[in-house]
Structure 1
């Protein structure tokens, strides 16, 4: 069965325009086309089953756009989500009217602000918005604020904490939202701490959390500053941690660790911690055993020659910082690998999960508390 004469004619007229993108509403059986002149529509009049008719419509479109009726090869799904689609074909993919082709575009390395605009018209959804906001060219372009506004409006409807963390992380990028909106997000984070993890990832040194420097900050500051002047990144990180921004970071991280909603929040929090304390990492392999990393931190502080040069200089030249440096070394190693053995054996959430991760959370609180001057 071929397309009806009316539909074939109207689709050919549509396809002979200078189209930027095509979208097909399969429930309403309407083909939309976007061009410089605006949006055009073709209401379909199927003469067979809708599924069969839509297949013919897509074959006609693909033949016109790509020269082949095959359309976008769906079997490349994983490949396209890795951003491997060829940049030179991105504009053509948006003219196929296929959702998987749009996904390939939003994941592509060569995504531009204009392509983002077309892709957003073709398939506006939260996952596509998040994907496009991971590209600096989109964040800096006209589409950045548009996508951020959508994610903000959609946040109350997000069901997965990992999506909440990622949406908040992305909209907090410079230039996307104003200060009032940022403060509103922070307030919501007091009720749903997945929001706070987004802040930890994007604004680790500019959190809206009141804090004061560590009680020993003024004592240690001159010696740490002297090392910083010599370009020591470990000294810079320890000073950063003990100063007001670092204290706010640790207070917020501890708040999240007290009551994470599920495993995704724990994982995202540990990712943020690992990145924050990276300059103080002892340089060993990722550790899956908490007891091992605690012993590693203790031993490194007793025998600093095992540490990379910057951390070794801090301990040797600022010996009064040794206990604080040990806690920082612990938190620097406390990444996702330490919870992998726990989460591999359980899919628990809430209070049950929090009991399961106590082998990690208890030393976390101990060493975070020391860096906060609480112990």
Structure 2
């Protein structure tokens, strides 16, 4: 059994987090959740503990170009007049070891004299990963895996994006009970209710970009903005991406207030994702219509589906998905339901491919 101090905290060199460190890890996750869901960087929280378990400082990453969580926690401790030499840093994600917009967190921790680091999730990126090994090589006690499952869930979108080297793709569809996105005469507004649309706007406010095809851009003349409950523009506006070779008319509402309009003259979903990756898009919301929806599904590039279903029957009209090249039920694209939510009078089903 690893040695413990009289107050129950583990002594330096212990290979498992103490109860006090686990509590700090929960606090670090709460702090991390305050960070922005958009942008190229992950949400990270950090708590600094004295050897007796007292909180010396805490912080979280507020977005690209701002101090990382470890540095924010060190700054908080200094502002409190706390002595951090010999402290333990509890961090939700492995401290980075690279210099980007800010310096490496490993260097900041070493310069501050931190003696122990308890981390949750290993960093999967080639540039930033390896911080734990660097800290160990410098003599710091490092313990990995503290509340890792919770940390992985918080960082699920960012982690999958980093591991795949492309944006995480959420596919949004809004259909009748019989799978139609428009009636026989082409009318489609509104299939779902105000409650469902309000939820969809909240999702828009948490992604980096929204994509539609030129057919939707020309036929529906959407704004592709994220709106608040009172109808105003949300503080964060995602990029508005139009995929296809037809031009967007100058009078289109896509040129109005909202996120930057990005035109991608491609019909290849992989090319679209590669272009958006270069723009630091890590989470893309695909809103259709059926042509773009089908293209992303056929390419196997959908990570999550948000299906808003209205208790409405049309019996005719355009289906939500076209030909996926599936000839038999045994080859069907099967998803795993992870959430069902009632959005009066509609329902939202969130599902992911089986391997996600």
TM more than 0.5:
no
Q: Which structure dedicates a bigger proportion of its chain to helix?
A: 1
Instruction: Look at both structures and tell me which one has the larger radius of gyration over its CA atoms.
Output: 1
Alignment TM-score, normalising by the size of structure 2: 0.28
Higher RCO structure, 1 or 2 (CA under 8 Å, sep 6+): 2
